[in-house]
Amino acid sequence: MAAAPTLVEAHPCFGGVQEVWEHRSEATGTPMRYGLFTPPQPGPRPALWFLSGLTCTEQNVITKGGLQRDAARLGLTLVCPDTSPRGANVPGEGDRWDLGLGASYYIDATRAPWSAHYRMERWLIEELPAVLAAHHPRVDLSRQSITGHSMGGHGALVLALRHPGRFRSVSAIAPICNPSESPWGEHAFTELLGDDRALWAAHDATALVRAGAKAPPLFIDQGDADPFLESQLRPERLRAACEEAGQLLTLRVWPGYDHGYYFVATVAADHVEHAAAALRAQG
């Protein structure tokens, strides 16, 4: 059995408690941290996962996102994982802000040297849920939803599409919607997966929808003053794919809003509500 996680910090928050934990991951071969908010209500509570974006750790959303207030009101736990392995010392992982440390794209790399440690999908889908089940009984893993921002929005969409039935709802804030046809994604996927674009498509929400993958109705918020909107995020491509495939999608465009955490904090309550509604509706 894997070693028990270690408590790094804990703070009272909206009647519940915001913690950060660390455990030794077999998937990544490194220590991995995750934020965990538990609301004041008793008993096992449904889980909303929040995947953060490029350059972030688990700290960004738990200190700037403000999701705890509505999670406490609605009785949800929040699971906020780190965005990449730390301490692996993979050659080149610190050379660029858009690949490597804080920039894993939530996939399992297949290309050396990344493949030795950058196994984030395995960590998120298999290992971290097992840690939660074994050591955090207040997290009800029979009821899970997922959301995320930017690279984390990409991760939320792709993990929901790749693992049907795992998450009862999926949403995203300013996500990378078509990474195999954006500069960030093209560079990262080449490094992490190699040159086979079929492998890229398996980690691209737009390509997955076009190939027939299904998920609960998608809910996306996007600012129209986001400097990355046209070059990197490209939600219109996902919208077109959803229309062609019959995948339900609500895409809200917010005039004047950019890519940062002021926007995340503005729309965060709606994403917690979206998750809570789905979790309530299904038991």
Residue numbers annotated as active site: 150, 226, 259
Cα distances (angstroms) measured from residue 176 to each of 30, 78, 184, 222, 230: 27, 22, 9, 11, 10
Nearest Cα residue to 4 out of 116, 130, 126: 130
User: Which uninterrupted H or E stretch holds 48?
Assistant: strand 45-51
Candidates 207, 239, 198, 202; CA nearest to 222 is: 239
Residue 255: count of CB within 10 angstroms of its CB: 7
CA distance 262 to 257: 8
Tokens 């080149």 found at: 92
Question: Do the Cβ atoms of 162 and 214 come closer than 8 Å?
Answer: no
Residues in Cβ contact with 96 at an 8 Å cutoff, skipping those fewer than 6 apart:
103, 187
> How far apart are the C-alpha atoms of 262 and 250, rounded to whole Å?
21
Question: What span, in angstroms and rounded, lies between the C-alpha atoms of 72 and 57?
Answer: 22
